[in-house]
Chains A and B, each alone.
Chain A
Amino acid sequence: MTRFAESTITFPYKRSLGPVVGAFMTALTDKRILGIRNGKDILVPPMEWDPTTGAELAPDFVEVGPVGTVESWTWVPTPSVQHPLQHAFAFALIRLDGATTPLLHAVDGGSSERMVEGLRVAPRWRGTRVGRIDDIICFVMGEVPETDGGDTGAAQEPVQRMDYHASITYRNPVPAATDRAVVASRNRRLLGLRCPRCERVYAGGKGYCPVDAVELGPECEVDLPTVGTITNFAIVTPVSYPGQTETEPFVRAFVLLDGTDVVIGYSPVIELPADEVRVGQRVAAVWASPAEEHDQEGGMGGAWGSLLGWMPNGEPDIDDPDLVNRIF
């Protein structure tokens, strides 16, 4: 059975809207819906260009709706947290009065039996509007627009940018080789895999040789030394970005394991200040105590299990001019 590990990526994007979608969003804060004239068509939402020819459209905006007619729909019986409504609803193509193209939005239809083509719907506005498409919470049945809660009015300034808080959760299959490497790390063993074709050894449960494109199974496992030499390093001055946890310059070192050609890259160092790290320095693995161990994460990410990083072991430096070239 394949095991899966979840990871979630989030980021607060800022989307710049441009002069046409910006005007549309600005009007939404005033509970008005704008289309743009394209010959005989009125496109809603408005576009900067003719969707069939690519030709630039003049900013000839036309107010449409706010009431419209459902042209087509699909029922969403079990919404996810990212859906516009948290109970069953319809996604519908709604042709607003005066428009020649349909707008995609949610319809709070109660039950799928009540959804029909030709249904008349009106917007339910958010009381506080910021210039996003969900300033319209959804459309409701009938000819009368609604406003949810106290109305705080239109935006004071034209809306130019939109916040977009993206969040995606991935389920990642965990390679069997990774699981074996993590289990071995609990016993302070550093597991490697030797490629039967090129004899290169890979650490960290990689599970394949990128040179020969062959899978490396349990029969390829070897125990690697847990002592090595720093070949190269980066001293990173952290800049702030969402999710950045570092605040002071920190070291990421490359460690060549004794008697092998295995380099473990981007390793944290422990009890080794940034101004003392050197090429040729001798280091030994530092492992998490059983109390510190947790399921997937270690100081070096889940691939290394209980390996937290590397610490000087007191042996004299190795002076070899070729060491610095060993990056990965």
Chain B
Amino acid sequence: MAQRTAVIGVGQTYHRSKREDVSIAGLVREAAQRALEDAQMDWADIDAVVIGKAPDMFEGVVMPELYLAPALGAVGKPMIRVHTAGSVGGSTALVAAHLVASGTHERVLTVAFEKQSDSDAMWALSIPQPFSAPLLAGAGGYFAPIIRAYMRRSGAPDHIGIMVAVKDRKQALKNPYAHLHIEDISFEMVRDSIMLWDPVRYLETCPSSDGAAAMVLASEAVADRSSSGTPPAWIHGMAMRSEPTMFAGRDQVNPKAGQECAADVYRQAGITEPRREIDVAEVYVPFSWYEPMWLENLGFCAEGDGWKLTDAGATALDGGDIPWNCSGGVLSTNPIGASGMLRFLEAAMQVRGQAGEHQVETVRRSLGQAYGGGSQFFAMWVLGADKP
């Protein structure tokens, strides 16, 4: 039986398109120090460090964990680097949680980051590989056909993607850490933005950000003794799944690995009706159409009905019964390696009542989800205010 595990500290940077004032280590330390302060701890209190980021190509620092180990107070302690593409922030938090849940460590610091302004992710994701057809299109070119398939099979009207883009940017205005604060965001502004990867418009995609996220995960004994004054967020369920990217018969729109990952987490948490039993969710939506797609993949509704929930306003912080991405989500902040951890961290903030203006009233349980690569990696956790 796994040990009870909780989030007792969270920290993030103010995400921006360029943080030219800090080194990579400085950026990572900013988030880590805030998490330590939130947990009322110091570097010396930490037993192990787990760090994650997306491909090293994004900054051109190969194995940055080597250089970051002393920057994160990890000298003489175990340090693990995790890499699962865009889902890495979520997987990193889960590896850290496993170290506590297994009884190996009592206090684990987990950190994820990306400093996109050091390079160009569009380039890094379009590098010609020998003996492969060149993509030349970054992530958007990869996901556009999958989105077209969803639109056609579900019969979703064109305005759904625009609605999500507007909703998440409006919610970002309530989150001081969010990268994009588009004060005058509107349906017309998104609709009239350039068609970047037909059917995906410019404002229906995520930005490119510099930023980091960090959390302190603790055992029950440590969490019970915590003097931080903010309640812990207990892990009720956690899981990762993967599947091959390309094979005949794969459902790219509603990947099996995502469905099974969700089913595993819900089983652990005793959840049978996610829409009713989860109060708030932070889900990896880098292109607006992924909200209705993941509503279905995560079992919040029947297949084909995701867009109807979005259309009815069910996922809005303002008036919705299952607010999604109250922080503004990946559509408003995308330091790629940290984007998954921000979902997990925001889920913790909601349970702990730390989300300020974008806080949902009375959160008993929250969901954090991240996916990566060609929708081939999934990571999720369900957190609760009560001990599991």
A: residues with CB less than 8 A from B are 5, 7, 9, 11, 13-21, 47-49, 51-56, 160-161, 164, 166, 170, 172, 174-175, 178, 200-201, 204-205, 209-211, 232-239, 241-246, 250, 252, 254, 261-263, 265-267, 274, 279, 296, 300-304, 321, 324-325, 327-328
Contacts and interface: CB of A to CB of B under 8 A. Distances in A.
Nearest to A256: B248
Given A16-B21, A16-B24, 12 more contacts: A11-B60, A13-B118, A13-B119, A16-B117, A18-B23, A164-B60, A233-B148, A236-B144, A237-B194, A303-B133, A328-B247, A328-B252
The residue among B132, B133, B251 with the most chain A CB atoms within 10 A of its own CB is B133
The residue among B72, B73, B74 with the most chain A CB atoms within 10 A of its own CB is B73
B246 A241 contact: no
A210 B22 contact: no
The residue among A262, A304, A327 with the most chain B CB atoms within 10 A of its own CB is A327
Given A237-B196, A243-B123, A302-B130, A49 B71 contact: yes
A18 B21 contact: yes
Interface string B122-144: 11101111111111111011101
B59 interface: yes
Contacts of B57: 9, 11
Interface of B: 19-26, 29, 33, 43-44, 57, 59-60, 70-75, 115, 117-120, 122-124, 126-138, 140-142, 144-146, 148-149, 152-153, 194-198, 244-253
9 contacts: A7-B129, A14-B118, A53-B73, A210-B245, A296-B130, A304-B133, A328-B245, A328-B246, A328-B250
Contacts of A9: 57, 127
A205 B131 CA distance: 9
Nearest to B210: A16
B244 A211 contact: yes
A266 B134 CA distance: 8
A202 to B, nearest CB: 8
B128 A324 contact: no
A125 B153 CA distance: 66
Chain A interface mostly helix, strand, loop or mixed? mixed
B197 to A, nearest CB: 5
Contacts of B253: 325
Nearest to B19: A16
A236 B137 contact: yes
Contact of A301 (B26, B132, B245, B248): B132
A5 to B, nearest CB: 5
Contact of B128 (A210, A301, A321): A301
B120 A241 contact: yes
Contact of A51 (B44, B70, B250, B251): B70
Contacts of B133: 204, 265-267, 300-301, 303-304
A172 B130 contact: yes
A9 B244 CA distance: 26
A294 B162 CA distance: 45
The residue among B19, B22, B115 with the most chain A CB atoms within 10 A of its own CB is B22
Nearest to B49: A54
Contact of B131 (A161, A261, A303, A324): A303
Given A172-B130, A237-B195, A232 B145 contact: yes
B149 A324 contact: yes
B29 A49 contact: yes
A262 B248 CA distance: 7
A49 B25 CA distance: 9
The residue among B70, B117, B126, B149 with the most chain A CB atoms within 10 A of its own CB is B149
B62 to A, nearest CB: 9
Contacts of A21: 23
Contacts of A242: 120, 123
B123 A200 contact: no
Contact of A252 (B74, B141, B152): B141
Contacts of B248: 200-201, 261-263, 328
Contacts of A164: 60
B118 A237 contact: no
B23 A327 contact: no
Contacts of B134: 266, 300-301
Contacts of A232: 145, 148-149
A236 B132 contact: no
A55 B53 CA distance: 23
A200 B249 contact: yes
Contacts of B127: 9
A266 B245 CA distance: 14
Contact of B72 (A54, A204, A263): A54
Contacts of B153: 321, 324-325
Contacts of B120: 11, 241-242
Given A261-B249, A304-B133, A235 B71 contact: no
B101 to A, nearest CB: 25
Contact of A18 (B25, B43, B137): B25
B21 A234 contact: no
Given A53-B44, A200-B248, A210-B244, A233 B145 contact: yes
Nearest to B199: A235
Nearest to A54: B73
A234 B141 contact: yes
A53 to B, nearest CB: 6
A274 B197 CA distance: 11
Nearest to B198: A235
Given A48-B29, A51-B70, A244 B136 contact: yes
Contact of A321 (B74, B129, B152): B152
Given A7-B130, A328-B246, A48 B198 contact: no
Contacts of A233: 145, 148
Which 4 pairs across A and B sit closest by C-beta, in order of nearness? A54-B73, A18-B23, A235-B198, A210-B244
